[in-house]
């Protein structure tokens, strides 16, 4: 086995005996030709969308069978086409945050952007600035578009970390198959995290939190951002 990188340099893609990597960048020619002749109504139908949840589930099963991670897979879709794929890669990498939704977001962003490392002065790809939606409580008038206009399909309900990543990615819609109670039965108990997050910092049960520790010193970082005239909100 040898390791290669996906579109984003931090997402490992495994090749086994020189077989194709599990994250193909585009649809097959037949799929693409079929998609060209479909209307927006067809693409928005639940019947059409099923294929994306099925692909996410396929990726999840592959992750289990290969020993790469837990039973979770995800795809990101824009305009009815897959632009990013992800699998749970925790056991492959030893990195606990490599969940399916996170690796799918990294894969999609890596394919959208023309280069891996961008910078706050880069205004192309998913860092292109767009105005805030009408009626939005967003305190800034415009932000980087990230994955605005995309949907994410994952076979299981997102954990709090992944749900937060989905928010940060500005993904429009999330479709998931199994419930938190379903994955809890097989040892993936994310539900308690949602419950814990509702408690004040000092009352969290899972992790001891110490808010306001050296707050005045830490505020210097906020000042640095606020004073940066060419800051790039995201």
> What whole-number distance in Å separates Cα of residue 158 and Cα of residue 169?
14
Q: Which of 93-102, 191-200, 225-234 has maximum average pLDDT?
A: 93-102
Q: Which residue has the higher pLDDT, 204 or 22?
A: 204
Tokens of 197: 């997050």
Average pLDDT, the chain: 86
What is the DSSP pairing of strand 150-156 with strand 142-144?
unpaired
| Number of other residues whose CB lies within 10 A of the CB of residue 186 | 11
| 29-43, 74-88, 107-121, 165-179, range with the lowest pLDDT | 29-43
- The mean pLDDT of 38-56, rounded to a whole number, is 83
Q: What is the pLDDT of residue 4?
A: 35
Q: What is the pLDDT of residue 43?
A: 63
Q: What is the 3-state secondary structure (H, E, C) of the chain?
A: CEEEECCCCCCEEEECCCCCCCCCCCCCHHHHHHHHCCCHHHHCCHHHHHHHHHHHHHHHHHHHHHCCCCCCEEEEEECCEEEEEEECCHHHHCCCCCCHHHHHHHHHHHHHCCCCCCCCCCCCHHHCEEECCCCCCCCCCEEECCCCCEEEEEEECCCHHHHHHHHHHCCCEEEEEECHHHHHCCCCCCHHHHHHHCCCHHHCCCCCCCCCCCHHHHHHHHHHHHHCCCCCCC
pLDDT one-digit tens code per residue, 115-154: 777 777 777 889 999 999 899 899 999 999 999 999 999 9
pLDDT one-digit tens code per residue, 195-223: 999 999 999 998 999 999 999 999 999 99
**Active-site residue flag, 101:** yes
Annotated active-site residue in 44, 55, 101, 134:
101
């Amino acid at each position: 086995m040898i390791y290669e990188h996906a579109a984003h340099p931090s997402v490992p893609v495994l090749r086994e005996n020189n077989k194709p990597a599990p994250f193909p960048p585009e649809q097959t020619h037949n799929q693409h030709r079929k998609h060209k002749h479909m209307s927006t109504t067809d693409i928005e139908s639940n019947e059409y969308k099923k294929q994306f949840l099925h692909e996410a589930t396929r990726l999840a099963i592959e992750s289990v069978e290969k020993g790469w991670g837990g039973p979770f897979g995800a795809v990101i879709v824009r305009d009815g086409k897959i632009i990013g794929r992800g699998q749970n890669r925790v056991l492959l990498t030893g990195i606990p945050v490599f969940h399916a939704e996170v690796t799918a977001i990294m894969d999609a962003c890596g394919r959208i952007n023309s280069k891996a490392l961008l910078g706050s002065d880069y205004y192309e790809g998913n860092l292109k600035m767009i105005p805030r939606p009408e009626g939005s409580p967003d305190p800034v008038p415009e932000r980087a578009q990230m994955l605005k206009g995309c949907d994410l399909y994952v076979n299981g309900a997102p954990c709090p970390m992944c749900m937060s990543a989905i928010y940060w990615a500005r993904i429009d819609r999330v479709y998931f198959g199994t419930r938190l109670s379903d994955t809890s039965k097989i040892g993936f108990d994310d539900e308690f995290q949602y419950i814990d997050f509702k408690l004040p910092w000092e009352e969290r049960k899972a992790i001891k939190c110490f808010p306001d520790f050296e707050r005045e010193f830490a505020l210097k970082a906020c000042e640095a951002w606020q004073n940066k005239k060419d800051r790039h909100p995201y």
